[in-house]
Amino acid sequence: MQLSHIVIFAAGGLIFAGFCPSRLRGWLLMAASVVALYWLQPTLTIFYLDFALPTITLTLAVALWWLTRPPETPALDGDDRLALALLAGLVLALSATRYLAPELRPTASRAPDVPPVALALLLLGLAGWLISRAIRARHGRLTAALIALVGLFIILKTPPLASGLAAALRGLTGQNQALAAPLDLEWLGFSYIAFRFIHTVRERQMGKLPALSLREYVTYIIFFPAITAGPIDRAERFIKDDRALLPAGENPAARLLTAPRLAEAGGRIGMGLFKKFVIADSLALLALSAANAGQAQSAGALWLLLYAYAFRLFFDFSGYTDIAIGLGILLGFKLPENFDRPYLKNNLAAFWQSWHITLSNWARFYVFSPLSRALLKRKVKAQSAVFIAQMATMLIIGLWHGVSGGFIVWGIWHGLGLFVHKWWSDRTRKWYLSLNQKPRLKTAWTAAGVFITFQFVTLGWVWFALPLESAWPVFWKLFGMTP
């Protein structure tokens, strides 16, 4: 999000909180999130793709809502029909803005004409119906949806595959295929959207997903404060806040624009703006990058660049999270925290409980816990099961950022670090507990843990900041060695 987007969202949130009738809040929020989905989508070079991708997001949301409904749910009720009609109407209305002046269009570029869009919506609906008829078993449908989501995620996150798909799309539009690049498929928020989709599919497979209306499901998936940088909320938590927006009689909770709420929201948004646009953007001038890594003449200079990158990353991500949480508060939602002073934690496990918390929790729920349980059931030794599960979890977190050598090494780096930490803590637990009787020694040990953990995490950012071929020389140069 740019500063102009945030200002407009905050102003809209004030109007929403102060003047929107409670019976319309949920509907207006869904409509605003749909418009924001198209408005925030980056401009793409492939014709009409920056309109098609948000439309596909909405189509997937409708399809997965249908698939994840409880088995006993009857046919569409009145609210679901209204939500479906509103979604289709909004897409067609956004398409019709092609006739407006460029500065008045809410879409990234000029949208396609209305008739082709209407036809595409009908064909997508028909395709979904045919697929659901072809796969009769409900569990089979959910499994197929899960495989499709993971497959699409892998394609978009793997540069050669993304370039191949971009070339194919350029061929369909008559554009130069030689110019195809992964950035041709820059899909707004897909990393977060995909993990929300997978969350709802897995929760339905386990029978834990609450019944959601179409409006509730779509709003959860594309809630505009959290669309670009998270957090990855859980549906059951999000929906409690959403339902509190509906008519509540004289319940004071139904009044959104209160002085404490306004102060809390303003404080978080202001803090986020300062972190992102003052601190992070200033540190970006100094932070380690492929452009300046080769210019550093000494190990000390490289460490300075790396520390700047570490803090720039934190203030950038946590700043956007503060903004999202502040906007959420303004709209009546308490989004989960994503950062809790991670660089002050005294071990790596504590770091991962306080850095990108919702992503870490997602990976623990859907990768580490089920994988470790499955390995233990197969009589794999506990230590080996933990090692495999930790490595797999951190690799998934690394690959979530992109399928590349650097992110793979970064995931392995943290997976090994977590395993070594567990091995060490298991063997020193009694000794560590004895430090409660020696407060000065415990304070010194805690400070040492904070220092070591920060250095380990910071070294790992080398693989995050640089391409793999550049990261190795920089890593060794940090220690005064030449590869």
pLDDT digits (tens, 9 = 90+) for 272-316: 999 999 999 999 999 999 888 888 888 999 999 999 999 999 999
Q: What is the pLDDT of the chain when averaged over all its residues?
A: 92
Closest CA to 464 of 357, 338, 355: 355
Cβ atoms of 114 and 95 within 8 Å: the answer is yes
pLDDT at residue number 409: 96
Going by pLDDT thresholds of 50, 70 and 90, the confidence category of residue 253 is very low
The upper half-sphere exposure of residue 269, i.e. CA atoms within 13 Å in the direction of its Cβ, equals 24
Does residue 384 share a domain with residue 359?
A: yes
Task: Write out the two tokens for 407.
Answer: 């992110």
Per annotation, catalytic residue among 139, 356, 401, 414: 401
In total, how many domains does the chain have?
Answer: 3
**pLDDT score for 302:** 94
Distance, CA of 418 to CA of 392 (rounded, Å): 12
Is 151 in the same domain as 26? Answer: yes
Distance between CA atoms of residues 264 and 256, nearest Å: 12
Confidence at 250, pLDDT banded by 50, 70, 90: very low
For 77, list phi and psi in degrees, rounded to 5.
-90, -175
Residues 312 and 422 in one domain: no
| Cα 25–Cα 30–Cα 32 angle in degrees, nearest 5 | 90
Does any domain span residue 275?
A: yes
Secondary structure in 3-state letters for 303-364: HHHHHHHHHHHHHHHHHHHHHHHHHHHHHCCCCCCCCCCHHHCCCHHHHHCCCCHHHHHHHH
Q: What is the pLDDT of residues 192-203, one digit of tens each?
A: 999 999 999 999
Give the whole-angstrom CA distance, residue 161 versus residue 152. Answer: 10
Distance set, CA 55 to CA 37, 111, 196 (Å): 9, 11, 17
Same domain, 298 and 285: yes
Domain assignment of residue 80, yes or no: yes
Asked if residue 64 belongs to a domain, the reply is yes
Please identify, among 187, 218, 253, the residue that sits at the C-terminal boundary of a domain. Answer: 253
136 pLDDT tier (thresholds 50, 70, 90): low
Alpha helices in 43-101 (DSSP H): 49-67, 78-96
**What's the number of CA atoms in the CB half-sphere (13 Å) around residue 246?**
6
In a domain, residue 171? The reply is yes
Q: Are residues 185 and 124 in the same domain?
A: yes
Residue 327's pLDDT is: 97
Is the same domain home to 219 and 293? no
In whole angstroms, what is the distance from residue 385 CA to residue 373 CA? 8
Select from 338, 359, 394 the last residue of a domain: 338
Residue 392 · residue 399 · CB < 8 Å: no
> How far is C-alpha 114 from the geometric centre of its chain's CA atoms?
31
In a domain, 360, yes or no: yes
Measure the CA–CA gap between 359 and 382, rounded to whole angstroms: 25
State whether 294 and 232 are in the same domain. Answer: no
Q: What is the pLDDT of residue 59?
A: 94
Name the pTM for this structure: 0.93
Residue 298, sorted as left (phi over 0), alpha (psi -120 to 50) or beta, turns out to be beta
* Residue 290 shares a structural domain with residue 424: no
| pLDDT at 137 exceeding the cut of 70 | no
Give the model's pLDDT for residue 369: 95
Residue 93: exposed, middle, or buried by beta-carbon count in 10 A (0-12, 13-18, 19+)?
Answer: middle
Res 4 pLDDT > 70 = yes
Cis peptide before 231 (omega within 30 of 0): yes
Same domain, 375 and 283: no
pLDDT value of position 127:
81
Distance in angstroms (rounded) separating the CA atoms of residues 352 and 364: 11
Distances in Å between the alpha carbon of 374 and those of 362, 381, 385, 422, 456? 18, 12, 9, 20, 30
With CA atoms as reference, report the closest residue to 108 among 61, 52, 58: 52
Mean pLDDT of 18-23: 85
Instruction: For residue 405, give both structure tokens.
Output: 């050598």
Q: Above 50 in pLDDT, residue 267?
A: yes
* Tens-digit pLDDT profile for residues 306-319: 999 999 999 999 99
Burial 219-246 (b: 16+ CB within 10 A, else e): bbbbbbbbbbbbbbbbbeebbebbebbe
Asked if 358 and 377 sit in the same domain, the reply is yes
The type of residue at 304 is L
Planar angle of CA 14, 17, 21, nearest 5 degrees: 135
One-letter amino acid at 4 equals S
Mean pLDDT of 109-125: 91
Q: Are 331 and 314 within 8 A, CB to CB?
A: no
Residue 354 backbone phi and psi in degrees, to 5: -135, 0
pLDDT for 48-95, tens place per residue? 999 999 999 999 999 999 999 988 777 778 899 999 999 999 999 999
For residue 411, is it within any domain?
yes
pLDDT the model gives residue 349:
96
pLDDT recorded at residue 252: 44
Band (pLDDT 50/70/90 cuts) for residue 132 is low
d(CA 418, CA 411): 11
- Cα–Cα distance, 192 to 153 (Å, whole number): 11
User: What pLDDT sits at residue 247?
Assistant: 56
**Same domain flag for 35 and 61:** yes
Structural domain boundaries enclosing 386? 343-477
Asked whether residue 229 is domain-assigned, the answer is yes
**Of residues 449, 248, 242, the one with CA closest to residue 350:** 449
What is the biggest distance separating any 2 CA atoms in the chain, rounded to whole angstroms?
Answer: 76
Of 253, 284, 312, the one marking the end of a domain is 253
Q: For 165-187, b where at least 16 C-beta lie within 10 A, e where not — what string?
A: bbbebbeeeebeeeebebebbbb
pLDDT at 372: 94
Active site includes 199?
A: no
Please give the pLDDT value at position 255: 64
What is the length of the chain? 483
482 in any annotated domain: no
For 88-102, 138-152, 444-458, which range has the lowest pLDDT when averaged over its residues? 138-152
Instruction: Judge if 195 and 55 occupy the same domain.
Output: yes
Q: Residue 268 above 80 pLDDT? A: yes
Q: Output the pLDDT for position 476.
A: 92
